[in-house]
Amino acid sequence: MSYDPGPYWEERYATLSLHSSGHRDLPAAYNDWLYHRKRRVLRRGLARLGLDPARLRILEVGSGTGAYLDFWKQQGASSLIGLDLSAAAIRFISERYPEYRFMQRDVTVAGLAADCGTGFDLVTALDVLYHVVDDRLLAAALGNIHAVLRPGGILAVHDQFLHRETEHHDYIRWRSLADWERALDAAGFDIIGRWPIFCLMIQPTDVAPSPAGAFMHRLWAWTNRCIHRAPALMGRVLFVADSLLGTVLREGPSMELLLARRRP
């Protein structure tokens, strides 16, 4: 199947709610805990850099149906522009969050700085750029983001950062850490750090073909069955487990948060 981003996301957002995005194979109640974990890691990542969202100009790439907008409100963010491909999603979040500005915009199309301005302190692309499956378009997106950030501004990305070759899965391209390092360097960014988001909460996609890796896959098969039987309970339990593991592990078996700084 050929992936066409515009029609794909309009179809995915045909029925709009805060659960329209997220992990499609897992229950909505469990997805709530996944986002809870993602938001916690993001908050701690920004705190490591001494960044207070209340003082930042923020550009959110791929706002979707607003998975992070309540988080930004709770953090006191008052200057935020959100972009999304989907007109339906933009209408939905514009009504729910009138204090922020939203634009139907493809981050890979030239002229982003002219459309939304420059001097942003933070650009987030959370669970977004792995849907940019063409490497040339990823380079264009990173170039646009570089143009709108102030020198020293921060880019936040969620991805797998695989420790093996890049993999293509139709509407997702899981890029290797090496490919990400090259792309960010070419676009004028220095990586500050990466932190695991999930250790047990989702499937282990970045594990070596080893006895330990095989054990992780067997554990996930069992965990996945339990999640579908008791999503809210398993979400709470695994959230606590991943929060503890995330304080001691430098590398995770799946999604991670990467922060990069724009070079002058």
Q: What is the pLDDT of residues 114-129, one digit of tens each?
A: 999 999 999 999 999 9
Q: Which tokens in the block code for residue 147?
A: 């143009």
Q: Is the pLDDT of residue 200 over 90?
A: yes
Rounded to two decimals, what is the model's pTM? 0.94
pLDDT tens, residue by residue, 207-231: 988 998 899 999 999 999 999 999 9
Q: What percentage of the chain carries pLDDT values higher than 90?
A: 86
Handedness of CA 130, 10, 30, 168 (dihedral sign): negative
Q: How far apart are CA 67 and CA 64, in angstroms?
A: 7
Q: Is the pLDDT of residue 138 over 90?
A: yes
Q: Which CATH number fits domain 5-262: 3.30.70.1050, 2.40.50.1040, 3.40.50.10860, 3.40.50.150?
A: 3.40.50.150
CB atoms within 10 A of CB 125: 24
Q: How far apart are CA 256 and CA 221, in angstroms?
A: 21
- DSSP code at position 253: S
Average pLDDT over residues 8-32: 79
